[in-house]
Structure 1
Amino acid sequence: MTTPTVHGTDRLELGEGIRWTDGRAVLTDILSGRLLSAPDDPAASLGLIARLPFPLGAVAPVEGRPGRWIAAAGTGICRIDDAGRVEWIARPEDGAPVPMRMNDGVADPHGRFWAGSMAYEATEDAGSLYRVDRDGRVTRVLRDITVPNGPAFTADGTVMYLADSARGIIRRYPVDPDTGDLGEPGLFVTLGSGSPDGMTADAEGGLWTAVWGTGQVHRYHPDGTLDRVVELAAVQPAGLCLGGPDGRTLLVTSARIGLPEPGPLDGAVFAARVDIPGAPAASYRPVGTADATIFADTR
């Protein structure tokens, strides 16, 4: 693979949720509520797609509705239309015992959307994982997570990886492709240092994860053994994806938040060429009532 280079001139506070979709990379700066697009020219600045008045963790495109997104944002799940307007689907973390926000989220290969929540102060076991089915129903599927990141899915959607970053672990769950129900988890990997953050799977079933606090990205074989380590010039890698026209560009976001003396590349987006491709971000595929109401064209 090539040495990572800086992609874009911006430095983000908490850059995460990067996804390759519709021929471009989109990402979030969580606490500023911004949805951004990465430039084709690596010497240009990021483009603003939408700005929300609350934190924005991650988005997935909505199939058949260009410019529309389903998002993990604020205290729940919302839609964002092509004018940046928001409509709530559910706010399950309203009224929680401690202040909460949504964090990472992704669509699976079967068209569902999954998103995790966490406490602003990373209160132990305060977080949850939610699933939005194609009919718009929102279900809390896991509790007692401190800082959920991912999830990431294998290409056939039958395996889900979920990090609990505060504990330094990634768990692996079997997924029923018809219902989205999760089976019993197994421990996939425990990191000796740093925290697993954003994740993605590649075409060979390998799992890539940004490792917060170490300046590294790891790739693991499907059996959990470490395959490679990518060094970055930023302490807090946060989100990643595999994109580009051939799926072989590793794109990594990073963060400046919490660093007493951020370096010049903390908060940058990085790009490197790799030999094993990934797939574009999966879309949320609403059906029935969800398609007719939540994602209807309201213009």
Structure 2
Amino acid sequence: MTSTAVPMALVVDGGYELAEGGRWVEGRYVYVDILSGRLFELRDDTGPAAPRQLARLDVPSGAVAPVDDRPDTWIAAAGTGIALLTADGTLEWLDRPEDRTPLPSRMNDGVADPAGRFWAGSMAYDGTHGAGSLYRTDPDGTVVRVLDGLTIANGPAFTADGTTMYLADSAAGTILRCRVDPVSGGLSGPETFAQLRGDEGSPDGMTVDDEGCLWVAIWGAGTVRRYHPDSRLLHTLTVPAPHPTSVCLDPSDNRLFVTTARHGVKNPTANSGAVLSVAVPVRGTPVCSWRGRRRTHP
């Protein structure tokens, strides 16, 4: 295992409380500020430090993925459920399953898989152990709870063929790995892929590179880790902020983007609550879209 303290470039000094969910979507970097419910994009042709706000919701926004064949429409893990977010900022709810849980909870990170399904986790606001779940949104718009007993569900991330899913339970310091049936979306497992000690920080947002290795933002440790598919820790990058939250690899360039948080930082700098980038020797895989139909709940 190697460790590197390569300087990271400050791309956006946004002062975000909890920037998360970075994705590279059709030539633009898209990310959220969870607690303020804001969605941003950053285009290569706009130069540094020029994000554009795409939407501001009245509920927390955990992550989005593009909707296939519907330009400027997103599927969002937001508030207590899953919704379609249209270009004018309207939310069309597919379901709000966390309304039916006993504790005040919200949705957290999420991503679409290569088969066109959308997966997103949840957590209780007070971090109650075991109160979080993982949900799968199928192409017909049905939202299904597929795992429970989690605490802070983060990730998930998929291999390019869609048959393996990585999922972090941040509070437990655990990265899980599941096999995914590409037809039904059914899971087998999960098994423990990696276990972090308490002094090593907590696994947060994740992505898989074009060599099949897993990159993980480590909250509380100011690092990003890269793991081999056999779970060997290959490399650790130092991040100039204590709480990196998500990682995104540009599929057309050798750049890693990292979002960070000001939340919980006593003496934040410009790098806390920011978007950072650094050159890396690998690239990402193309973003996946939710390939679903329009079936919404009031």
State the alpha-carbon separation in 1 of the partners of residues 253 and 178 from structure 2. 25
| Letter paired with 1:171 | L
1:3 positional shift: 3.4
CA RMSD of aligned residues (A): 1.5
Matched, 1:11 2:19: no
Structure with greater proportional strand content: 2
Q: Distance in 2 between matches of 1:9 and 1:263?
A: 9
Indicate conservation of the 8 Å contact 1:242/1:280, yes or no: no
The corresponding residue for 1:143 is 148
Alignment of 1:57 onto 2:62: yes
| CA drift at 1:206 | 0.2
Residue equivalent to 1:249: 255
Contact between 2:13 and 2:271, CA under 8 Å: does it hold in 1?
Answer: no
Give me the whole-angstrom Cα distance separating, in 2, the residues matched to 1:33 and 1:264. 21
Q: Deviations over 1:218-264 (max 9, x none)?
A: 000011111111111111000111116x1421110000011222123
Alignment partners' CA distance in 2, 1:121 and 1:164: 15
**1:175-227 CA-partner distances (Å, limit 9, x unpaired):** 00000000022110011310000000011110000000011000000111111
Amino acid at match of 1:5: A
2:99 alignment partner in structure 1: 94
Q: Report the equivalent of 1:122.
A: 127
Q: Residue 284 of structure 1 aligns to a residue in which SS? A: coil
Closer, same or farther: CA 42–220 of 1 in aligned 2, 3 Å: farther
Show the counterpart of 1:37.
41
Q: Any unmatched runs of 5+ in structure 1?
A: 295-299
1:126-151 CA-partner distances (Å, limit 9, x unpaired): 00000001111110000000000011
Q: Which residue of 2 aligns with 1:21?
A: 25
Q: Is 1:226 paired with 2:233? A: yes
**In the TM superposition, what is the alpha-carbon distance from 1:9 to its structure 2 partner?**
2.9
Structure 1 residue matching 2:171: 3-state secondary structure? helix
Alignment match, 1:208: 215
The corresponding residue for 1:239 is: 246
Q: Distance in 2 between matches of 1:103 and 1:165?
A: 11
Q: How far, CA to CA, are the matches of 2:43 and 2:271 in structure 1?
A: 17
Structure 2 SS opposite 1:102: strand
How many residues were matched structurally? 290
What are the superposed Cα offsets for residues 55-84 of structure 1, whole Å, 9 maximum, x if unpaired?
Answer: 000000001111000000000000000111
- Give the TM-score taking structure 1 as reference length: 0.94
- 1:297 matched residue in structure 2: none
- Whole-angstrom CA distance in 2 between matches of 1:247 and 1:211: 23
**What is the rounded CA distance, in whole Å, between the counterparts of 2:23 and 2:253 in structure 1?**
11
Question: Is there any run of 5+ residues in structure 2 with no aligned partner, and where?
Answer: none
Deviation of 1:19 after TM superposition, in Å, equals: 0.4
Distance in 2 (alpha carbons) for counterparts of 1:213 and 1:200 = 19
Q: Measure the CA separation in 1 of the matches of 2:273 and 2:13.
A: 10
The answer for the alignment partner of 2:71 in structure 1 is 66
Looking at structure 2, the residues matched to 149 and 226 of structure 1 have their Cα atoms a distance apart, in angstroms, of 19
